[in-house]
Amino acid sequence: MTTEVLWWIFAVAIVAVSAGVVFARTVIHSAIFLILSLAGVGAMYLFLTIEFIALVQFLIYGGAVTVLILLALMLTRMGIAGRPEPTTGVQAPFGALVAAGLMATLIGVAVATAWPGNLGDTAVAVSIETIGEELFEDFGAPFMITAALLLVAFIGAIVIARQEDED
Amino acid sequence: MVPMENYLVLSGIIFSLGVYGVLARRNAVLVLMSVELMLNAVSLNFVAFSAYRIPSSADATGIIFAVFVIAVAAAEVGLALAIVIRLFRNRSTANVDEAATMRW
C-alpha cells in the first residue's frame, strides 16, 4: 500500500517536471527540470525492481548527459543585452494539438488493450547475473557494435566541435 | 504494487510531452532535451514489459533493449551537442529556424 502511494507521488512529480522541461521560460530551468525528470524515471526503475537500469540511469543520464547539456547551454547562450530568447515558435499550437492527440491515443491503447496472459500482476526482480549473461552471450554482437558506435560518435563529436586554427 | 498499465500511461504522457517539446521549441538544445524525454519514455516501456513478464528470471530482453537505448542516446547527445556548438560558432545562433538552409 505504501509503495502504491509512493508510486503515485513519483508519477505525478515526473509528469510535472517533464511538463516543466517543455514549458519552462528559460533554458537553464528546462535543464534542471530535465535532471529531475530523468532521476524520477530512475526511481520508476527502482519501483520495477530493476536496480541495474536504475543505476545506469542515474550515472549516465543524471551525470554525464545533463552535464553535457548544461555545457552546451553555457557555450550557446545568446544572453547579450538581457534580451530573452524566444523558446517556442509560431508552430507551438500545432505541436500541442499533435501531442494531445498522440497522448490520447497512447493512453487509450495502453488502457484498452488486453495484454497477453503471461503478464503478471507485480513486477518481478531480474537478477543482474541474468542481465549480464544475456548481454554478453545472446547480445554479444550488438554490444560490440554499440561500443564501436559510441567510439565513432565521440571521435566525430571531437572533430566537429574542434577549434580550428584559422578561426 | 501498481499494474503495468500505469507505467504504460506514464510513459505515454512523458513521450507526448517530448513530442510537443520537439515540435514547439526553437532552441536546438531544448529540442535535444525533449528527444531525451522521449527516449526515456521508451526505455521505461521496455523495462516495464520486461519486469511484468511471468517467467521473468529467464528473460531480460527488454532490459537489454533499455541498455542499448541508453548507449545510443549517449552517442546521439554527444554528437548533436557538438553540431549545436559548431552551428553556434558559425552562425551565432542556436535557433533551428535560422539554420534551415542545410548549407554551411
The DSSP code for A17 is H
Hey, are the CB atoms on A120 and B32 less than 8 Å from each other? Answer: no
The DSSP code for A164 is P
As a whole number of angstroms, the distance between CA B34 and CA A24 comes to 12
Please give the pLDDT value at position B102.
65
- Check CB contact of B98 with chain A, cutoff 8 Å: no
The DSSP code for A48 is T
All residues of chain A having their beta carbon less than 8 Å from the beta carbon of residue B19 are 95, 98-99, 102
Q: What percentage of residues in chain A have a pLDDT greater than 70?
A: 89
Whether B73 and B44 have beta carbons less than 8 Å apart is answered as: no
Rounded to an integer, the average pLDDT of A34-46 is: 92
CA distance B80 to chain A (A): 8
Tell me: the pLDDT tens digits for A53-84? 999 999 988 888 888 888 888 887 765 544 55
All residues of chain B having their beta carbon less than 8 Å from the beta carbon of residue A128 are none
Q: Which residue has the higher pLDDT, A24 or B95?
A: A24
Rounded to an integer, the average pLDDT of A1-17 is: 91
Comparing alpha-carbon positions, the chain B residue that sits nearest to A32 is B33
Rounded to an integer, the average pLDDT of A32-48 is: 92
Tell me: the pLDDT tens digits for A84-135? 566 677 788 898 999 999 999 999 998 888 777 666 667 777 788 888 888 8
Taking only residues 24 to 63 of chain B, the set having a beta carbon closer than 8 angstroms to any beta carbon of chain A reads 24-30, 32-34, 36-37, 40, 43-44, 47-61, 63
Local structure of A119: helix, strand or coil:
strand
Q: What mean pLDDT value characterizes chain A?
A: 85
Whether B59 and B36 have beta carbons less than 8 Å apart is answered as: no
- Check CB contact of B91 with chain A, cutoff 8 Å: no
Please give the pLDDT value at position B36.
92
Predicted-assembly ipTM surpassing the 0.95 threshold: no
Domains annotated on chain B, with CATH: 4-99 (1.10.287.3510)
Which residues of chain B register pLDDT less than 70?
A: 54-58, 102-104
pLDDT band of A166, cuts 50, 70, 90: low
Query: Which three cell numbers, joined as nine digits, stand for B34?
Result: 525533449
Q: Is A89 exposed, middle or buried (0-12, 13-18, 19+ CB in 10 A)?
A: middle
- Interface size between A and B, measured as CB pairs under 8 A: 259
Hey, are the CB atoms on B85 and A75 less than 8 Å from each other? Answer: yes
Angle subtended at Cα A42 by Cα B34 and Cα B61, rounded to the nearest 5 degrees = 95
Please give the pLDDT value at position A81.
43
Nearest to A68 among B18, B67, B77 (CB): B77
CA distance A82 to chain B (A): 15
Please give the pLDDT value at position A85.
62
As a whole number of angstroms, the distance between CA A107 and CA A121 comes to 19
Hey, are the CB atoms on A124 and B74 less than 8 Å from each other? Answer: no
The number of helices, as runs of H, and strands, as runs of E, in chain A is 7, 0
Please give the pLDDT value at position B14.
95
CA distance A15 to chain B (A): 7
Hey, are the CB atoms on A76 and B43 less than 8 Å from each other? Answer: no
Residue type for position B102: M
Q: The pTM is what?
A: 0.88
pLDDT band of A167, cuts 50, 70, 90: low
The DSSP code for A33 is H
